[in-house]
Amino acid sequence: METTAETIYRKIIHIDMDAFYASVEQRDNPEYRGKALVVGGLPEGRGGVVATASYEARKFGVRSAMPSKRAQQLCPHAIFIRPRFEAYKEVSRHIREIFSRYTDLIEPLSLDEAYLDVTTDKLGIGSAIDIAKEIKQAIKDELQLTASAGVSINKFVAKIASDINKPDGLKFIGPSNIEAFMETLPVEKFYGVGKVTADKMKRMGLHFGADLKKLTEEEMARNFGKTGRFYYQIVRGIDDRPVQPHRETKSLGAEDTFPYDLTEVEEMNAELDKIGETVVKRLRRYELQGRTITLKVKYSDFRQITRNQSFSKPVDDYETIVTTAKNLLLNSGIENVRIRLLGISLSNFGELQERPPKQDNTGQLSIFDE
């Protein structure tokens, strides 16, 4: 049997628009160009978070999902505006149309981000790097916006690569460079490794991919659960997940396991505040609103309960989500309990939603971060 390198390796491109909402606003409103611009919740409102900050605002440390109040402290001269999702969706439709000139294997992760499998492209171009260049150019010419592209043989590496030369970047990590690249990658840069996991890794002396590689698959699984096995593969450059054009999100959330059991309601509420922030960030990222809020509680004896509440209208705001979760927790009985895990998720998204992914880059658990 004859095989060539071309037939062995897949060609995966990850495209990610640069500072998407903010860039669209700067394009459409010349007065915002060159200015520190924050799209998201206004700092005057309670619970408002940053959806996207322009690069001018990022210089001051403003980041997505940060409370808008905090963003204003860091960057007092920033202009705060509410998002215009209709405009972003229009751009999103256009970039997907551009992608579809090259392949039908498109897996959108959010309005501004997608994986493309161009192993066989419609135009017979062959080079994934050339295709990425053409797509970036088309986005510039037709939309006056910039995107960054990562090109590799799997989704995980392509996704990390797209982030390397942002904005307007293009990074190719070829098969022979993948393992070396993964070895020097700091653990917190592994897509999907949350802060809790990254901190745990560091406490164990695991700072880079090379350190993770020293652990056996069993050790990885014992310490980091299901995702541990995933990272065991990933650090060796192995990620066989296909680019999936049609996926449906059934629920989206976040949960946290605590280093010690929570016994005080103040502690529990503080944790729900944090988890709620992550959930809102993810909802924004995937453009989702859900009608059902679910609270998950695991006790020190590993008993687990879920409690949920549904709403007549879809919700995605921090205040509603966190308040509901706190009430559900209160009603579940918090006298004399020891809690080791709390989680909040949203579901019941309805048909209006565009289809974002159930999982993105961390295998089974992805949208749920540890």
Catalytic residues: 113
Toward Mg ion, which CB reaches closer, 17 or 243? 17
How far apart (Å, rounded) are the C-alpha atoms in residues 7 and 23? 38
Indicate the helix (H) or strand (E) that contains 120: none
Nearer to Mg ion among residue 112 and residue 360 (C-beta) = 112
> Which of residues 166 and 358 has its CB atom nearest to Mg ion in the complex?
166
Among 12, 13, 16, 95, binds Mg ion (CB under 5 A): 16
Least distance from Mg ion to the Cβ atom of residue 166, Å: 8
Instruction: State yes or no: 317 annotated in a binding site.
Output: no
* Near Mg ion in 20-79, by CB under 5 A: 20
**Cβ proximity to Mg ion, 22 vs 118, nearer residue:** 22
Contact region with Mg ion (CB under 5 A), list: 112-120, 156-164, 210-218, 359-367: 112-120
* d(C-alpha 18, C-alpha 173), whole Å: 20
What does the buried/exposed string (b/e) look like for 216-254 if buried means 16 or more CB atoms within 10 Å of the residue's CB?
eeeebbeebeebbbbbbbbbebebebebeeeeebebbbb
Tokens linked to 288: 């989702």
Q: Whole-number minimum distance, CB 355 to Mg ion, in Å?
A: 18
With contacts defined by CB under 5 A, name the span among 24-32, 35-43, 104-112, 171-179 that binds Mg ion: 104-112
User: For residue 286, what is the enclosing H or E element?
Assistant: helix 265-286
Q: How far is it, in rounded angstroms, from Cα 318 to Cα 24?
A: 24
Sign of CA dihedral 226, 228, 230, 233: negative
Q: Is 112 in the site for Mg ion (CB under 5 A)?
A: yes
Question: Of the listed pieces 13-21, 71-79, 114-122, 244-252, which binds Mg ion according to CB under 5 A?
Answer: 13-21
Point out which span in 16-24, 205-213, 321-329, 345-353 binds Mg ion (CB under 5 A): 16-24
117 lines the binding site for Mg ion (CB under 5 A): no
The 247-276 site mask, x for binding Mg ion (CB under 5 A), equals ------------------------------
- CA–CA gap between residue 254 and residue 208 (Å, rounded): 25
Give the number of residues in contact with Mg ion, rule: CB under 5 A: 4
Residue nearest to Mg ion (CB): 16
Note whether 17 binds Mg ion by CB under 5 A.
yes
Q: Residue 21 Cβ, how far from Mg ion at the closest point, in Å?
A: 9
Convert residues 311-350 into a mask of x (bound to Mg ion by CB under 5 A) and - (unbound): ----------------------------------------
Shorter beta-carbon distance to Mg ion: residue 65 or 204: 65
Residue type, 193: V
Give the SS3 label for residue 244: coil
The span of 69-77, 106-114, 275-283, 316-324 binding Mg ion (CB under 5 A) equals 106-114
Q: How far is CA 139 from the centre of its chain?
A: 22
To the question of whether residue 16 is assigned a binding role by annotation, the answer is yes
How many Å apart are CA 361 and CA 365, to the nearest integer?
9
Q: Which of 73, 109, 64 is nearest to 358 (CA)?
A: 109
Residue (200 or 285) nearer to Mg ion, CB: 285
Residue 113 or 256: which CB sits closer to Mg ion? 113
Greatest extent of the chain over all pairs of C-alpha atoms, in Å: 68
* Residue 193 is a binding residue for Mg ion (CB under 5 A): no
Least separation, in Å, of the C-beta of 101 and Mg ion? 21
Q: What phi, psi does 63 have (nearest 5°)?
A: -135, 160
In degrees rounded to 5, what are phi and psi of residue 117?
-100, 115
Q: Is 360 in the site for Mg ion (CB under 5 A)?
A: no
Pick out residues in 163-182 that bind Mg ion (CB under 5 A).
none
Beta-carbon contacts of 93 under 8 Å, excluding residues fewer than 6 positions away, are: none
Sheet-wide strand order for 304-315: 251-262, 339-347, 290-299, 304-315
For the annotated binding site, the residues are 16, 112
For the annotated binding site for Mg(2+), the residues are 16, 112
Contacts with Mg ion by CB under 5 A lie at 16-17, 20, 112
